[in-house]
Structure formats: structure tokens, C-alpha cells
Amino acid sequence: MSFNKPIFKGTATALITPFKDGAVDYAALEKLLEFQINGGIDALVVCGTTGEPATLDDDEHKRVLEFAIEKVNKRVPVIAGTGSNNTQYAIDLSRFAERAGADGLLLVTPYYNKCSQKGIVSHFNTVADSVNIPCIVYNVPGRTGFCISLDSYKQLAKHENIVATKEASGNLLLMMEVLEACGNDIDMYSGDDQQVVPLMSMGAIGAISVFSNIMPAEAHLLTKLCLEGNFEEAAKLQLKYLRLMNGLFMQVNPIPVKTACAKMGFCNNEFRMPLCPMDASDDEKLFALMREHNLIK
């Protein structure tokens, strides 16, 4: 099956997963979903890295996906994080997400048991073969220890179900080479909030954002301006929010952004180990940045 249009253009939020007393807090999750949609977000990524899927058990992972898809009810596309370093598990979870009604899949490169470039092409193609919804591959070597090469991108772009990449390699040269070589066959989303405008100025069609958890309207506007070709105003917004974007990564994601969401009243500041709350001194640094943008008092 081929897909004639992108899953989305603009900003998709890599949504946090809220917890309460050790369990998924579905009331808080619904509140977060409505905040995002009311803020004009273009799509939602559920159970991506920011959603702490590594500590969700299989039933929880599936239920969070089902719940989000049901509550969003096609108002915006829902992209399910179903990647794994176990190809068969990624297939099983991807098929489940398709049956549940997901609009697309986000597939991270295998981690820990790092594969070869030949292996990554086989892995993604095999998962993509197993479903009939569009797939976004996710290149984030800072977390996985593996970077998709230009040659691998060229091969992956040939698969009709692999429609896009979330690029968080930080390697602008690689991203430019992929856009030049594969731009007609595979769309690109910025996976780093700090690089949205530079990457979209070269042809990316949006971002998968952490920042938009707390400022969906502003994140939507940033990519909207880029899509309209108004890079001068987009650059002003990128710089306006740059220190806050950086602050959301003062510790490993999603610790700061969940801390911010909790401070805004959306959820508890609760994580699953090995993640843990920040020290009070770091909390205050983050809260000071938030106050600058009137997110909290």
C-alpha cells in the first residue's frame, strides 16, 4: 500500500505518560490530550521515548495506545511508538497499534544489541512489511548508540510504508544529505526542538516535539510559519523559546518536561525507576525559565 500524503505536517507532541501511585493516570492523560488538541497541535505521538515506554509493561503500553486513540477520536493523527530492539516484538506491537486505529507508527532504531547497517534496513523493512499504515523511522544515536547511514536511508526510502524519519542525530550534514538524496521519497521531521527552523528551512515538514507538551500553540505556530516560508518570524520564535527548550533537556528527557507539566497542574511529578525527580535546585532553574513565559506564577 502506498500513501499519498504525509501523516502530518507541522508539530506532533511526543507526549508524556502520567503516573499516579505507581499506575498510569488515565484521568491526567485525558487532560493532557485535550490540552494538546485545544492548543492546535497537528498530531500526537504516544508511547515514544518521552512517554517512558521502557518501563510500561506490555498491557500498559497497549492500553495507553488504545486510550489515546479512543479519546482523540481522529481529531488529529495519533502515531504509536512501537519500536523495539526485538524485531518480532516490534511487529507484534505494531500490528496491535494498527488494529487499535493508530494513524502511523514511530519505530526507533534498535538499542543495546546494536545491529549493522544491513541489519537496520532488514529490521525496519520487516516491521514495515507487517503493517498497512505509514511508518516513521527514528534516528537518535544519543540514546541507541546507532546512527542510520545515508546509504541505509536510501534503501529505506524505497519501502512504500516507510514514509518519514524523525531525525535527532544532531548531524545537520547527514540530514541535509538525506533531504537531498531521499527528499522525494521520505519526509523528515526534526526530533530536536532546538533545530526546527534550521531543518525546516532545508525541507523538513515539521517536528516531533518535547517542548510542545507545555506550549502546544507556540510549537504549532513555529512550524506553521516555516511551512508558510516565513522563516524570519519563525527564527524569532525559535530564539525566543530557545533557553526554555534547552531547559527541558537539563536532565535526561522526559524528567524536566514532566516536572514542568506537573508544575502546571496536569499530572503528578512521578516517574518510574530508574528515572527519578530532579533536585530542588534544578527544579527552580526550570521554573524560572517557565515564569519568563508566564507558564506558572
Q: Which residues are catalytic?
A: 138, 166
Centroid of chain to Cα 164: 12
CA atoms within 13 A on the CB side of 160: 8
CA atoms within 13 A on the CB side of 210: 28
Alpha-carbon distance 188 to 207, whole Å? 8
Alpha-carbon distance 153 to 147, whole Å? 10
Q: Do 211 and 196 touch, CB atoms closer than 8 A?
A: no
For helices 280-292 and 255-263, what crossing angle results, to 10°?
60
Q: Which residues is 8 bridged to in the sheet? A: none
At residue 101, what are phi and psi to the nearest 5 degrees?
105, 15
Choose among 62, 43, 58: nearest CA to 134.
43
Whether the link from the prior residue into 274 is cis, omega within 30° of 0, is yes
